[in-house]
């Protein structure tokens, strides 16, 4: 959107402006807390006599009603949040990329229309409503699909992943359509390169930048959705701490002035969402991958 657009592709790896640096730091802290936190902060389920203690040196995030250290619980929750989001985005990409690339390359009306219709239906029921719907109705216990147990964590991942598919597929389709029009694709065809090789060897690397941008924005969305479901009690269940159920668990104590219980885990969530959003934004400025949301070319 700004002057960055004119920069050649991939010429700059380090961000130039402060805001993007801030985002990168937020995201890095979020990931560090998820990866290293649980081993450094101790057992998230160890109870203590120090009940609902305000943040101090021994308990930087305070303690909850059972005297559990909230830093340890937040770290454990951040790990859940990051794992679920990464898995959901990966799942969405894995399904949507081939779909979108095939649809874009062949430009077949039928397939195209199908994706658009599915997208329309999914949009009429917002992602969050859909997720709440399925989880609320299928219950929060572990379900069984034949011999395979489906835990709550898996359920959240599956739902978010599936909800991402139409969005990713649409972006992949649009990016592929733009690439298919380029001369090099026609040249490859003439030379007789096999179709799959064109699609996944030559087209995919050119579609990838747009998808990377979407992946970061989707990460932010996934962290939010996982948190929201947890907050409503429809996410990963206690005693496993998640950012959402910590934020929700503290609401009852807010009127008594216990601010750290809800606010601090929520602030960590905010850092993660903000970080991923800012990185996605910066990438879309330098890679130019955003432009498919309202520039529909049919």
Partner 1 sequence: MTTVLAVISLVFVLLRLSPGSPLYTLLGFSYSEEGRAAVAERLGLNASIPEQYVRYLRQLAGGDLGASVFSGQPVGELLAQRLPVSLELGLVAGAVWMALGILAGALAALRHGSPFDGLVRVTSVVALSVPSFWLGLVCVLVFGVYITGVLPVSGYVPISEGLPEHLRGLVLPAFVLGLPAFAVVARTFRGSVLEVLDRDYVSFATSMGMSRRTLLARVAMRNAAIPLVTVMGLMLGMLVSGAILVENVFGVPGLGQLMVDSFRRQDYPVAAGCCLAVAVLYLLTNLLVDLAQLAIDPRIREGVLNGGRVR
Neighbours of 239 (CB within 10 A): 11
- Residue 35 belongs to what H/E stretch? helix 18-35
| Rounded CA separation 72/76 (Å) | 6
- Least separation in angstroms between CB 275 and partner 1: 9
- Do 88 and 157 contact (CB within 8 A), yes or no? yes
DSSP states along 268-283: HHHHHHHHHHHHHHHH
Helix (H, G, I), strand (E, B) or coil at 83: helix
User: Does residue 7 interact with partner 1 by CB under 8 A?
Assistant: no
Q: Which of 228, 235, 249, 289 binds partner 1 (CB under 8 A)?
A: 228
For residue 180, state whether it binds partner 1 (rule: CB under 8 A): no
Which of the ranges 33-41, 56-64, 88-96, 269-277 carries the binding residues for partner 1, by CB under 8 A? 269-277
The span of 8-16, 82-90, 92-100, 121-129 binding partner 1 (CB under 8 A) equals 121-129
Query: How many residues of this chain bind partner 1 (CB under 8 A)?
Result: 53
Q: Which residues contact 216 (CB under 8 A, 6 or more apart)?
A: 276, 277, 279, 280, 283
115 contributes a contact to partner 1 by CB under 8 A: no
- Residue 27 in contact with residue 277, Cβ under 8 Å? no
Residues 108, 138, 182, 252: which binds partner 1 (CB under 8 A)? 138
Q: Is 123 in the site for partner 1 (CB under 8 A)?
A: yes
Stretch near partner 1 under the rule CB under 8 A, chosen from 31-39, 60-68, 180-188, 219-227: 219-227
Nearer to partner 1, 75 or 220 (CB): 220
Cis peptide before 296 (omega within 30 of 0): no
Q: Which is nearer to partner 1, 101 or 132 (CB)?
A: 132
In the chain, beta strands by DSSP E = 143-145, 148-150
Using CB under 8 A as the criterion, which residues of the chain lie in contact with partner 1 when the complex forms? Answer: 1, 19, 117, 120-121, 123-129, 132-139, 143, 220, 224, 227-228, 231-234, 247-248, 250-251, 254-255, 257, 259, 262-263, 266-267, 269-270, 273-274, 277-278, 281, 293-296, 298
């Amino acid at each position: 959107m700004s002057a960055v657009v004119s920069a050649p592709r991939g010429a700059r790896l380090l961000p130039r402006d402060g805001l993007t640096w801030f985002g990168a730091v937020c995201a890095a802290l979020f990931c560090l807390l998820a990866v290293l936190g649980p081993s450094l902060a101790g057992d998230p389920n160890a109870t203590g006599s120090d009940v609902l203690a305000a943040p101090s040196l021994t308990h930087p995030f305070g303690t909850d009603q059972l005297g559990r250290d909230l830093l340890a619980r937040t770290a454990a929750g951040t790990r859940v949040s990051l794992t679920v989001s990464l898995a959901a985005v990966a799942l969405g990409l894995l399904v949507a990329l081939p779909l979108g690339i095939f649809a874009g390359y062949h430009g077949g009306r039928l397939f195209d229309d199908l994706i658009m219709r599915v997208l329309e239906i999914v949009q009429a029921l917002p992602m969050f409503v859909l997720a709440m719907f399925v989880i609320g109705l299928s219950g929060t216990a572990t379900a069984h699909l034949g011999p395979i147990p489906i835990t709550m964590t898996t359920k959240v991942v599956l739902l978010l992943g599936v909800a991402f598919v139409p969005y990713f597929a649409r972006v992949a389709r649009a990016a592929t359509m733009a690439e298919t029009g380029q001369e090099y694709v026609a040249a490859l065809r003439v030379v007789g390169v096999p179709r799959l090789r064109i699609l996944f060897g030559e087209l995919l690397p050119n579609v990838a930048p747009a998808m990377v941008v979407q992946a970061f924005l989707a990460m932010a969305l996934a962290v939010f959705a996982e948190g929201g479901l947890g907050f409503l009690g429809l996410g990963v269940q206690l005693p496993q701490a998640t950012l959402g159920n910590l934020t929700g668990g503290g609401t009852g104590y807010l009127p008594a002035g216990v601010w750290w219980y809800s606010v601090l885990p929520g602030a960590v969530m905010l850092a993660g969402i903000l970080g991923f959003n800012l990185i996605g934004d910066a990438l879309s400025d330098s890679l130019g991958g955003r432009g498919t949301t309202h520039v529909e070319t049919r």
